[in-house]
Structure 1
Amino acid sequence: MAVLKGLKPEKVFAYFEKLCSVPHGSGNTKIISDLCVSFAEEMGLKYRQEPCNNVVIWKPASPGCESAEPIILQGHIDMVCAKTDDCTKDMTREGLDLMTDGEWVWADKTSLGGDNCIAVAMILAILSDDTLVHPPIEAVFTVDEEVGMDGAFALDCSDLRGKKLLNLDSELEGVFTVSCAGGMRSDCLLPAELTDAAGTEGFGITVAGLQGGHSGADIHLGRGSANRLMGRVLAAALEKFPGLRLAAISGGQFDNVICSRCDAVAALPTGSGAAFTAFIREFDAGLKNEYAVTDPGVTLTCAAAEAAKAVPAERTATLVQALAAMPQGVEAMDTDFPGLVQTSLNMGVVKLDGDGLHITFSIRSSIASRKLMLAQRVRAVAALAGGTVAERGVYPGWQYKRESKFRDTLLAAYKDLTGKDGVVEATHGGLECGLLMEKIPGLDAVSMGPELHDVHSVRERLNVPSTERTYELVCELLRRSC
């Protein structure tokens, strides 16, 4: 029996459950893309599937609305795959285990992927409903938004006629996003090699229990980054234990997720065990004090570990100092939108491989020059450590449009349905609207969505009543656009 059966809107949650039944992490979107294609074929709708797995579906206007301007409905089909330490699910091959209490929907021991499959489910429900009044609809489903908006970069817009875009990739009901930060990814490599570690004993070090979160939506909350904290731990350990050598380090999977756990192995001179354990215990107490409010579950632990090979001590010092010196978190707040982060950086992934220490960052700013300035700082620290930086996934910001009839129509519909005024704001998160506006001159856009909490984490949950109200609002906007 379907887990979400009986939740309203029934069609939306039926499609959402179907989408969640197949794996669709970033870079693994072929199955869900084909599912969207099968839907279009079953409905007899024109569609196009791109080599990268983007899908575009067209639905003609309902009777009487043929002369109305088309509306583009858009969401992305990939998700961030996060799971608990004890979860055995292979998210590259298996779907999600959905759960609900009638008020919220979540996935057992994994992220939910409501960001952004709830948008896809809503659009499929609209496309399948021949009772709705609507203008021509151009439904755009993009891939790999979570790892650099690759699908939006690749999207062929030459056959799209719509000049109004409703992006459904926001997570606060009643909040209508009209501007977003631009961003980029920076991949650092600090060369190093592992050599024999005879005469040392190994210690596994773990920073865990942090809340993590979205590097755009949650970066201002002061939550700890396990990668940054591990850099602090190792830098402090170097001062107390000369000769420490780095044997391993691994933290994070995604550059746009605040890292919640980092593991490292340090090789210390034999006989350092008792003193090192005491050092870790003292540092753990300090972290618990610092993060008592934002990350009350933080822990720093150590245990004996294998360390047959490690980076030489002198090179270890350089790597650790660079890791500790790299920027992390909020750099500047916005002056036009009080309370909004203007510029930030997230050290999402840290890993020691055979060729050296890899550090991957997500950089965001609503001011292009500030984004470039922060990228320059990363390059400078890497250069001082003898490393290199490759930059990718540079995407533009979305500038606020002061006059918008499309936005006015949406806000009026929201007021009529709820009796409340919508909140118009900018976001520090990255949205595909900026890229689509570059590709489609004259495009007007608004982003909205139902209530989603703790996206990109195992605590992610979708509010059911909010989903119903949001779906009703989208349908009303379509009706008023005829």
Structure 2
Amino acid sequence: MCNVLGNLNPISVFKYFEEMSNIPRGSGNEKAISDYLVDFAKNHHLEVIQDNVLNVMIKKPATIGYENAPTVIIQGHMDMVCEKNKDTVHDFEKDPLKLRILDDMIYATDTTLGADDGIAIAYGLALLTSDNIPHPPLEVLITVEEETGLRGAFALDPKHLQGKFLINIDSEEEGQLLVSCAGGIRTTQVLPLIWEDVDKSHISYTINISGLLGGHSGMEIDKGRGNSNKLMGRILNDLSNTFDYSIKAINGGSKTNAIPRETDAIISIDPNDTVTLEEKINAWDTIFKNELRASDKNVTVKLEKSETASSKVFSKETMKKVIALLVLLPHGVQSMSMEIKNLVESSTNLAIVTTKDTEITFNSSIRSSVKSLKYTILNQAKVIANLLDCELIESADYPEWSYDPDSKLRPLFEKVYQEKYGETPQISATHGGLECGLFKEKNNDLDMVSLGPNMFDVHTPNEHLSISSTQRTWEYLLAVLKEIK
């Protein structure tokens, strides 16, 4: 095992963060990390519960003088988004992450880092093993499959937890206390796929869009970054108005909560249209570079001869519907809050397009801090599905977390921050989805705050975590726990 983070402070936090980086823990593949947490608890003689979906709850008694303090839940999720650069050789099912340090930042090598939300587990384990940190009774709750539909939070039985204060460590900006988050729902448009025989005189080309930054579909949706699926829709629509061609496959994006960075479309054309196709692709490359010059300067549209052996193409009717879906399905910010400055109120992200044997699926994630607006966007998707003879499947419908004006935890965090740093923390809401809404739904008495250290480009292979911010946030967390009596 490499020891890349061994000299960093706080030592125990980075020790556990590095240990976890050696355990594959993509969403849906959490058995190993869940068992690691159970073994950790048993080895330290702590009470532990592992439920039937692999959520883990570890409990530690209060330190001397805090026996009568309210129990505090420290909460995060054990799964991570598994993204890598296209040419990177890495198996997220079995390979450890290759950590590296650059100045004040920790990166993985050409993959996501998993600081979202490995840092929550690292903080939790460091608290559980400490013998010199004053704290109230602790319940460390680590959930599964947060990134792909909050499955762990949905399945959690609230009887396992007694805490009334919950500190969620799943935020990404130091000095910012999150006290509200968006709810969401995921949709899948399922279009039946009808095939036709390919014209044997035609040749195949692959159109590839790449070089986009992508990012978290909640946190980066307002950055104006390109969506490779939507960009491909514009290209294919333009080509259909220029010459006859057929589509063999289209695939783009890999995670429902990530803005897609790459999309490939394989098309079949008459050889006589090759020059026109090349001119069109070059033109679109120039258009996108101009449109996205501030947000995605490295966007690239490429054309390559395809050697696919497929003898089938989409029927003309299927092709029309595919292009219509790519053009019509909304993406991006749908409304901004009029109450909280710069807060995205509602959005949607056309995240994944997948060609299968009998159907093509279009996965979108809808978010809103206003329930009625969430369902307005959903109804828009239903109308599109009805027009184009698609089946619409809804999943992972989770509630928003509303601001609590009577919170006792939030003022405590503010007081400690003011005393420690001489300034007031930013109180804000996030357009990202947190598990707090579900916890509040299960236990309305919970008083919650979310925080975290600075991390950047989450859900992309450029994800990185600030070392100094991790230390400051740890010290801030300890100062808050010390005040809860």
Common topology (TM > 0.5): yes
1:101, distance to aligned residue in structure 2 (A): 3.1
Structure 1, 222-231 or 313-322: larger mean CA deviation: 313-322
Whole-Å separation in 1 of the counterparts to 2:194 and 2:373? 34
**Local SS of the residue matching 2:161:** coil
Whole-Å separation in 2 of the counterparts to 1:159 and 1:75? 16
- Tell me what 2:149 maps to: 148
Whole-Å separation in 2 of the counterparts to 1:314 and 1:114? 45
Give the aligned length: 481
1:338, distance to aligned residue in structure 2 (A): 1.5
1:384, distance to aligned residue in structure 2 (A): 1.1
Q: 1:47-58 to 2 correspondence within 5 Å?
A: 47-58=48-59
- Deviation digits for residues 283-326 of structure 1 (CA, Å, limit 9, x no counterpart): 11111111111100001111111352110123211221222111
- Tell me what 1:356 maps to: 359
- Tell me what 1:437 maps to: 440
- Tell me what 1:200 maps to: 202
Q: 1:365-376 to 2 correspondence within 5 Å?
A: 365-376=368-379
1:102, distance to aligned residue in structure 2 (A): 4.9
The one of 298, 303, 326 aligned to 1:323: 326
1:74, distance to aligned residue in structure 2 (A): 0.1
Structure 2 segments unaligned to the other structure (5+ residues): none
- Tell me what 2:12 maps to: 11
- Tell me what 2:71 maps to: 70
The one of 393, 397, 400 aligned to 1:390: 393
Matched, 1:79 2:80: yes
The one of 215, 218, 222 aligned to 1:216: 218
1:379, distance to aligned residue in structure 2 (A): 1.4
Q: Runs of 4 or more off by more than 4 Å in structure 1? A: none
Letter in 1 for 2:234: R
- Deviation digits for residues 409-431 of structure 1 (CA, Å, limit 9, x no counterpart): 11111121222210000000000
**Local SS of the residue matching 1:34:** helix
Aligned-residue sequence identity (percent) comes to 39
- Tell me what 1:410 maps to: 413
Whole-Å separation in 2 of the counterparts to 1:438 and 1:318? 39
- Tell me what 2:466 maps to: 463
Structure 1 segments unaligned to the other structure (5+ residues): none
**Local SS of the residue matching 1:66:** coil
TM-score under structure 2 normalisation? 0.98
- Deviation digits for residues 180-232 of structure 1 (CA, Å, limit 9, x no counterpart): 01001001101112221023221100011111010000000100000110111
The one of 208, 232, 235 aligned to 1:233: 235
- Tell me what 2:121 maps to: 120
Whole-Å separation in 2 of the counterparts to 1:295 and 1:163? 44
The one of 465, 474, 479 aligned to 2:477: 474
Contact 1:104–1:463 (CA<8 Å) still a contact in 2?
yes
TM-score under structure 1 normalisation? 0.98
- Tell me what 1:343 maps to: 346
**Local SS of the residue matching 1:84:** coil
**Local SS of the residue matching 1:214:** coil
**Local SS of the residue matching 1:26:** coil
Contact 1:193–1:354 (CA<8 Å) still a contact in 2?
no
Letter in 2 for 1:13: F
- Deviation digits for residues 59-83 of structure 1 (CA, Å, limit 9, x no counterpart): 0111121111100100000000011
1:132, distance to aligned residue in structure 2 (A): 1.1
Contact 1:194–1:354 (CA<8 Å) still a contact in 2?
no
- Tell me what 1:136 maps to: 137
**Local SS of the residue matching 2:32:** helix
**Local SS of the residue matching 2:326:** helix
Contact 1:178–1:445 (CA<8 Å) still a contact in 2?
yes
Whole-Å separation in 1 of the counterparts to 2:209 and 2:313? 20
Whole-Å separation in 2 of the counterparts to 1:173 and 1:98? 22
**Local SS of the residue matching 2:229:** helix
- Deviation digits for residues 256-299 of structure 1 (CA, Å, limit 9, x no counterpart): 10001001101123422111111111111111111111100001
Letter in 1 for 2:326: L
- Tell me what 1:275 maps to: 276
- Tell me what 1:250 maps to: 251
